[in-house]
Chain A
């Protein structure tokens, strides 16, 4: 049984093998035990693998073959915008003048990097309708927290210290309430109405002079545009609060509507989503924050500026919330996003949104006869089906998601948003062809039929993957979070 397992790199290690090439030392040898106090000198080498270069390449190639990416196949993971990752982005990020520059070099020696960053800020201001942008945050959640810290600083600067609450709709991403907590706020949940939009009456009831901000994703996680956005802005602003835009779903409205025109005071973008980051198996991301003028004084330090054709970092920002990350953000990622924006241009970005929304609506209408669709109006870039019809037949959404693996597809986001029972959130993106959408739709229809005629095949899925469903309870009950030869023996026994 154990032989079927993909070996860990530690298990192919053999004492004496090496996989590195270091230049011989060209300065005198030293005796560490004489130069450093005894307590500081490592006694036992770290048990890192001992393998040849080919061993390494075979190992990671084998691992990559056990992984599904956008380049492998369709990846309609809702709210994650799994679009194609252009290869020119990768080429640009590896140009030596971008890859091998140090963040603390004299500004005169990195003007090219600062030029790109500044131009990207300008582009993002125009795309979002905001006045200023910082590129410092490392990812979306980091951007949320950065903006909330700025909103807190704004209120405090106005002597308005009683604003301790952040309003978050029940359909919001989990990072919203978590970021509010990390920024020191209490989260108040606002309900959705029967149309899947924020319940205006509930918002009115919960907003008050203790409201620091409302965090909103528009379109929301159901893929629906919050039509009453101007009324909501009026309510929140009327109470003295700020309006925060979670940019996770920007792909749905680029060049159709801008957060800055909808009354939002601050916005974060996920450059690794809308702007082809790529996702990297979970990161690195990049989460710039854009703000309106009245929040600009609180931007994190340093602020990138252009004076007389020269780019400079301004550290003299007295009301700044401070630094949120060492150096200037994930340059290598926002450089890719910049390359993408420059590859698309204004017409391209408009076509991105139109195609993304068209694709989602097409899929939604073709799947509507086979699954429950709790919110039947036109969607934006994504839509949410409910598996409650199938659940009555004993098959859960999780089972259907696993069955999709047998067809070579990555499943949709499941059980999210929380306000849809047995939810399946599907986001096709604009980079997929009609043929791909059709083959996914066909698979979904076949699965719906299987649920009625042969539910076991769905309940026991997947059947074709390198591994079947894993025992997550066992993983959590007695966590094994690192390799040791002993834990491997125990695992086999258990």
Chain B
């Protein structure tokens, strides 16, 4: 058969068979024992033409409610932010997206330099000494931070705050299970990590304390105090951080973090039903040789020209095999490129401005909701999310909001005990005053 992705003609095949010295392609599969040979046709859908398939899938996509048609107040780790149009133009250059991992530096300088710039931007935002070339996502990055800490300290217990994203905590637990690492939850109090409870839990076997900044409830944790407690007990301090918030928040690197991880999705990466996003992993210098995944370093060629290579590869699976620090191979390179372009477009002033707008809009929403008689958890130390007592089941409320063109907040009763009727609303810079006002009005209307 001929297909637009396969150029071999019948004449080509005849010539090639002759060179090989066989009369039929079947002979090339003769080594597959008859007992396991698959002889029927695959029972899958028949091929569709380009236009027919595009039409079908466009119709399927239209069954979904997307954040371009609806005003979305859903965050909880994935956000609807400004995506500079230039991002898609850069990542659509197929020299980037059809390339493999840059193992041949002479013809991969573009990708390598772009990653080097990504590593630098992550360092700038987080205040850490170095960052790797990316991880799958924020959740697995946090999990690998936990296993790194256990390996580094030779201790077997992780203390994870209840205010860390519930799905990330699940992933931390799954990774820890494999290596017989115990995971203990630090309870929250008023939406932040309970420091008194943390003090009780810290012990000689604590490998690390893991918190989120801003945390799952949108609150800004007191990193310095938590970090000092961790360090006093010989444990590492791991911070999972939304990098966009760091446009206005003090970087974790200045507040004692040994490892800062997170997801760069807020920078130019679409929600995409939860993936692919872009985990990042940044550490202090002392942990440089323990970092999972690929690192790009600067060097020179024999003529003194500057160039970039994958470096410190002795940590990695293709060299160390069962002694590697992690099994990660593929990462999120193309999304790291997308994030780099978005961070570059925002630049020094835009990174501050966008973070500031997120705070200001959320603060406006908080006050509007409070004025309307809703109670909002915590004070002003929030970023772009707030926890609101909706006074009725969130599922019910969200159904009504949807009818008004609004995607409501995250239903906290799904994951937290005692949080019936509580929703987590995200108010990014994309939400207009009108949309925020409409949300508040709808919430009031329900109770009228």
Indicate if the CB atoms of B436 and A27 lie closer than 8 Å.
yes
Return A396 CB to nearest CB of chain B, in Å: 15
Q: Which single member of A66, A332, A434 contacts B16 (CB below 8 Å)?
A: A434
Q: Does A399 contact B (CB under 8 A)?
A: no
Number of A-B contacts (CB under 8 A): 695
Indicate if the CB atoms of A339 and B53 lie closer than 8 Å.
yes
Indicate if the CB atoms of B139 and A26 lie closer than 8 Å.
no
Indicate if the CB atoms of A278 and B97 lie closer than 8 Å.
yes
For the complex, give the distance between the alpha carbons of A140 and B401 in Å.
40
Indicate if the CB atoms of A37 and B317 lie closer than 8 Å.
no
* Closest Cβ neighbor of A67 among chain B residues: B110
For the complex, give the distance between the alpha carbons of A362 and B14 in Å.
11
Q: Could you give, for residues 385-412 of chain B, a 1 whenever the CB lies within 8 Å of some chain A CB and a 0 otherwise?
A: 0000000000100110010000100100
Residues of chain B contacted by A71 (CB below 8 angstroms) = 94-95, 98
The verdict on A45 contacting B113 (CB below 8 Å), with A75-B100, A322-B174 known, is no
Residues of chain B contacted by A491 (CB below 8 angstroms) = 298, 300, 306
Q: Does B331 contact A (CB under 8 A)?
A: yes
Indicate if the CB atoms of B351 and A88 lie closer than 8 Å.
no
Q: Which of A209-247 contact B (CB under 8 A)?
A: 224-225, 227, 229-230
For the complex, give the distance between the alpha carbons of A63 and B54 in Å.
32
* Closest Cβ neighbor of A276 among chain B residues: B5
Indicate if the CB atoms of B65 and A324 lie closer than 8 Å.
no
Return B128 CB to nearest CB of chain A, in Å: 9
For the complex, give the distance between the alpha carbons of A336 and B38 in Å.
26
Residues of chain B contacted by A482 (CB below 8 angstroms) = 116, 119-120, 123, 130-131
Q: Please choose the segment from B188-196, B201-209, B229-237, B267-275 that sits at the chain A interface, where 4 or more of its residues have CB less than 8 A away.
A: B267-275
Interface size counted on chain A using CB atoms at 8 A: 210
Residues of chain B contacted by A155 (CB below 8 angstroms) = none
* Closest Cβ neighbor of B31 among chain A residues: A225
Return A61 CB to nearest CB of chain B, in Å: 7
Indicate if the CB atoms of A282 and B102 lie closer than 8 Å.
yes
The verdict on A97 contacting B297 (CB below 8 Å), with A20-B345, A29-B360, A358-B8 known, is no
The verdict on A4 contacting B305 (CB below 8 Å), with A53-B345, A97-B62, A100-B271 known, is yes
Residues of chain A contacted by B440 (CB below 8 angstroms) = none
Indicate if the CB atoms of A178 and B65 lie closer than 8 Å.
no
Q: Does A393 contact B (CB under 8 A)?
A: no
Residues of chain B contacted by A358 (CB below 8 angstroms) = 8, 13, 16-17, 20, 25, 28
Indicate if the CB atoms of B380 and A68 lie closer than 8 Å.
no
For the complex, give the distance between the alpha carbons of A431 and B287 in Å.
43
Residues of chain A contacted by B328 (CB below 8 angstroms) = 139, 141-142
Q: Does B259 contact A (CB under 8 A)?
A: no
Q: Which single member of B21, B45, B67, B247 contacts A42 (CB below 8 Å)?
A: B247
The verdict on A327 contacting B250 (CB below 8 Å), with A67-B111, A470-B300 known, is no
Interface size counted on chain B using CB atoms at 8 A: 202
Q: Which single member of A123, A173, A225, A433 contacts B8 (CB below 8 Å)?
A: A433
For the complex, give the distance between the alpha carbons of A471 and B300 in Å.
6
Indicate if the CB atoms of B249 and A327 lie closer than 8 Å.
no
For the complex, give the distance between the alpha carbons of A70 and B35 in Å.
37
Q: Does A318 contact B (CB under 8 A)?
A: no
For the complex, give the distance between the alpha carbons of A176 and B446 in Å.
55
* Closest Cβ neighbor of B298 among chain A residues: A480
Residues of chain A contacted by B356 (CB below 8 angstroms) = 30, 32
Residues of chain A contacted by B66 (CB below 8 angstroms) = 96-97, 99-101
* Closest Cβ neighbor of B117 among chain A residues: A9
Q: Does A346 contact B (CB under 8 A)?
A: yes
Q: Please choose the segment from B153-161, B163-171, B369-377 that sits at the chain A interface, where 4 or more of its residues have CB less than 8 A away.
A: B163-171
Return B423 CB to nearest CB of chain A, in Å: 11
Q: Does B417 contact A (CB under 8 A)?
A: no
Residues of chain A contacted by B317 (CB below 8 angstroms) = 141, 174-175, 177-178
* Closest Cβ neighbor of B90 among chain A residues: A60
For the complex, give the distance between the alpha carbons of A9 and B97 in Å.
20
Q: Which single member of A88, A183, A187, A285 contacts B330 (CB below 8 Å)?
A: A285
Residues of chain A contacted by B179 (CB below 8 angstroms) = 182, 184
The verdict on A344 contacting B276 (CB below 8 Å), with A46-B348, A482-B131 known, is no
For the complex, give the distance between the alpha carbons of A36 and B53 in Å.
52
For the complex, give the distance between the alpha carbons of A142 and B331 in Å.
10
Q: Could you give, for residues 63-93 of chain A, a 1 whenever the CB lies within 8 Å of some chain B CB and a 0 otherwise?
A: 1111111111001010010111110101111
Q: Does A392 contact B (CB under 8 A)?
A: no
Q: Does B294 contact A (CB under 8 A)?
A: yes
Indicate if the CB atoms of A345 and B47 lie closer than 8 Å.
yes
11 contacts between A and B (CB under 8 A): A18-B349, A28-B360, A48-B346, A95-B61, A101-B66, A113-B273, A178-B324, A285-B330, A357-B25, A462-B106, A470-B300
The 10 closest A-B pairs by CB, nearest first: A327-B274, A345-B47, A97-B61, A103-B274, A280-B334, A67-B110, A112-B63, A69-B98, A284-B276, A282-B333
